[in-house]
Structure 1
């Protein structure tokens, strides 16, 4: 006679300590840490993986970008709104004339750890965070639009900046009751905090005549409230350059090494 099955019983895991999600994250963090100075093949060799898996790990971490990856993901998520994962892959493959394997190789892992660009920095590795900032700044410099500036400002919250005179500060953007970010930067300057309106930041952006050109002093960006902070932020983002004597104060102690 069969013994009744105990509640919660069943086949024991062969490897109870095995955690697929944890292992995937460890592989992803390792790939990201090597990505800056190595090719996909070099990373694959170092981690004993194939280059396609390395690329997929980097895509999952939000650290890899290319025109084809962006096209595949954009097309896939368009179909994913109304189709299952499998059908969306097939539709994407059909539209872009790619194989199913090619499409999935440019998509992040569905299970495990996917960190889109809006994920809190506390949940991603230092390497992934650095890559995220680098990509955002690169995009902003190429096309200094409000959308790209906002994306970069969000990513650089709580990062240390310096003013024209070399005083350190950081900022954060708070959320309203709806859970959405408010268009206001709260400047943390030692024990004091003051707000900086987004409209002021945009006004200064409009006064940047040429990306990367030297701006002698904050007031050259306009007679704007809080412009001394905007000046420091724009320098860090590479939207402006500053005179050598000012650069020395802003870069002292390596606090504002540009990403």
Structure 2
């Protein structure tokens, strides 16, 4: 009889610290709660609480709530003084202990790993600008919440063959409907983007008359391959992490 698989052991304090570090790093790069929430597949309210815990975020309300709490006021007293709901008061207070639930620990560990893998994939693509690095970025960004230039939300996954290996076909999921896109389309758009590097790409069709280019356009922007006008980035609801000079 096969032995049951052991669950990985997670150190709650270590996971909490790693999550706080990663979320703070993302927020410092983008300055957007919504964008950071997308990076970690968490709600903006949870992200805000994590950032308050790490000291990376504050506003007038959070300062008032935390000053009252430090001054010894109870949650109910803070509610009465500020007019906030109990859930809102708690949302502006930092976490006081690590998360110990096994399922949530596992999810947070995976969130950190996914975030780091995506970061590394983008760095590698920026350095190499070749098809191999592009493929690794596409693999890393599966299930990432993209939006087209018209604001249509979508995610994608890669098909797998019988052996469990990825084949060269993307399954685009948009509002519960799916369609497939060939890897060759992504490569064609990428090659055109490399030719036009340094020039802002005003619309998807600039990359070519390619099937699925409206999906490829926001992907290449998020990967750092193309530049777009600020208003176009806003439509796609992406504020790309700032590139740091080393």
The normalised TM-score by structure 2 is 0.55
User: Which string of whole-angstrom CA distances, capped at 9 and with x for unpartnered residues, describes residues 217-241 of structure 1?
Assistant: 1111111011110001111111111
Go from structure 1 to structure 2 and tell me whether the alpha carbon gap of 1:222 and 1:128 turns closer, same or farther (over 3 Å shift).
same
Residue in 1 that maps onto 2:155: 170
User: What are the equivalent positions in structure 2 for 1:1-259 lying under 5 Å apart?
Assistant: 22-23=9-10, 25-26=11-12, 29-30=15-16, 32-33=18-19, 35-36=21-22, 124-208=109-193, 209-211=195-197, 213-251=199-237, 256-259=238-241
CA distance in 1, matches of 2:9, 2:160: 30
Conservation of the 8 A alpha-carbon contact between 1:168 and 1:189: yes
Residue of structure 2 equivalent to 1:109: none
Instruction: Kindly provide the CA deviation profile for residues 47-91 of structure 1, in whole angstroms up to 9, marking residues without a partner as x.
Output: xxxxxxxxxxxxxxxxxxxxxxxxxxxxxxxxxxxxxxxxxxxxx
RMSD: 2.7
Distance 1:162 1:174, change over 3 A: same
Q: In the TM superposition, what is the alpha-carbon distance from 1:124 to its structure 2 partner?
A: 4.0
Check the 8 A contact 1:146/1:202 in 2, yes or no: yes
Q: Unpaired segments of 5 or more residues in structure 2?
A: 1-5, 26-105, 242-246
The one-character-per-residue Cα deviations of 1:108-167 (angstroms, maximum 9, x if unpaired) are xxxxxxxxxxxxx96943222212211111111121111111111111111111112121
Q: Do the aligned residues in 1 keep the contact of 2:159 with 2:169 (CA within 8 Å)?
A: yes
Q: Which runs of 5+ in 1 are unaligned?
A: 1-18, 39-120
Instruction: Calculate the TM-score normalised by the size of structure 1.
Output: 0.53
Native 8 Å contact 2:155 2:173 kept in 1: yes
Q: Is the 8 A contact 1:165 1:246 kept in 2?
A: no
